[in-house]
Structure 1
């Protein structure tokens, strides 16, 4: 077990500063918190926070996975994307609520008809080449409850995944799983000649759930703030509901089951990919209220 060079605290998941070579705990991992000589590089346009920390003690040989996957993005303090580092969960939540406002407040004010509304926000087998809907449909939702359920899941679980894999990889996971989940649902609709569209962030939310299930299957989630449930059981439950629906025995009507399964599979695969370089906490309080559906809520094809 490593110890922090600054405070001496034992640390299961130490951070290694690539600027000074020191080993630090989470509290002292940032250069300004341990008097890093890299502070002298403030005049460097790329800043000193340019993926300067490995994500685990075993990654001394090179750049982190985050750096390899998205090194083209400058998220240093001196870079244009510095604000988003560590905040992507909240950025995505903000986009979800902004999009909800555009759907149900702004669009009606401008008398946007149902065809244009769908063309803006719904990924549909009828219009597979409306590429913008591959992304806008992630942040659009079929109603307030649909939005709130996904927002709660992303708020609680998303912060954990972002903390452990980094903001850039988290953003790629969120957007990638959301797009692929929507495309999977759309593809099945095309094959089955079903014109039903889909919208919602549940594909990305299930991917987040899948990542944490692999990293720590015994993570305790406190449903309604007092019912302890291991996260693997939640995952199995959502998977069972989605598989049942995909096989023609829907437990929750109007849910895009293929999108759920696609997002979950992506999350499980990514969790396996990063397993061993991160440590997840062992409990999480996750509350919710009553409503008409599970993840995805009511409506036509939410995911």
Structure 2
């Protein structure tokens, strides 16, 4: 409880005046109600009135954001379900790649198709491929493998981070991974085209590795090992292939994998410095379906 500096009333949630720093009840929250020194600035066009108008405008924006992201709001479905939203976007993008585009005369792997769905040397400055390429994939096998990895590793990391931060990590790491691949090829005098969520998923895997390196996982669903061994092995393989055969050897974006993993390891270290750790075991799925279906941060 706090005491109103004007009338002495006990207030559970006092208003703090930004001009004089005092605490006031609702009745005395305005400058003119508590003889605020800021009243002297009312003749200044950039003084009290303008600043209160700005605060009022910000409060409207805050209320609007709260309304769409609250339970039952339009963004409420994203709470705890960002992993499944991304899985859905991956499937929809694949549908657009292999079903819709050919119906409109854009043949798979043709020049226009590549420009639409990949980030490549020639469309690097268009920006939209930075994001589309994260969800596009090179066939059913590519989509299936990435989808399985995201399905297992995504939910526990999302629960730890909150859906909004998880979404930012996934998309941001995916974009940076694609750019790293194309720019590395350009620096070596080569051309490149990249697509797929592998870089983003490697970031998720990196976060989980830092939070709980001893987490037991199964390579190919059969071979048990700690997560740190799987991550280290994957990184070593990508480094070896990149060093001896090139960044895009075998049609695999090795640099993108390494860049995504690097982003995840760095962000995982930051999260660990804030306290807490990751899950003790992986679960099948584990998301919270429905609008605002869970507790925890958005």
Q: What is the aligned-residue RMSD (CA, Å)?
A: 2.2
Q: Do structure 1's residue 115 and structure 2's residue 115 form an aligned pair?
A: no
Residue matched to 1:67:
none
Partner of residue 90 from structure 1, selected from 79, 84, 87: 84
Distance of 1:272 and 1:72 partners within structure 2: 34
Q: Do structure 1's residue 137 and structure 2's residue 133 form an aligned pair?
A: yes
**CA deviation after TM superposition for structure 1 residue 97, in Å:** 0.5
Distance of 2:102 and 2:206 partners within structure 1: 37
Structure with higher RCO (Cα < 8 A, 6+ apart)? 2
TM-score in terms of structure 1 length:
0.67
Partner of residue 123 from structure 2, selected from 111, 127, 145: 127
Number of matched residues? 217
Distance of 1:127 and 1:248 partners within structure 2: 28
Distance of 1:127 and 1:190 partners within structure 2: 13
Runs (5+) with no aligned partner, structure 1: 1-70, 287-303
CA, structure 1 residues 283+176, in 2 after alignment: closer, same or farther (shift >3 Å)?
A: same
Partner of residue 154 from structure 1, selected from 141, 145, 150: 150
Q: Which is further off, 128-137 or 105-114?
A: 105-114
SS in 1 for 2:282: strand
CA contact (8 A) 1:241 1:252 kept: no
CA, structure 1 residues 249+189, in 2 after alignment: closer, same or farther (shift >3 Å)?
A: closer
Partner of residue 283 from structure 1, selected from 281, 284, 288: 281
CA, structure 1 residues 163+119, in 2 after alignment: closer, same or farther (shift >3 Å)?
A: same
Q: Which has the larger radius of gyration?
A: 2
**CA deviation after TM superposition for structure 1 residue 213, in Å:** 0.5
**CA deviation after TM superposition for structure 1 residue 242, in Å:** 1.1
The structure richer in helix per residue is 2
CA, structure 1 residues 73+157, in 2 after alignment: closer, same or farther (shift >3 Å)?
A: farther
Residue matched to 1:198:
194
CA contact (8 A) 2:83 2:151 kept: yes
Q: Do structure 1's residue 236 and structure 2's residue 232 form an aligned pair?
A: yes
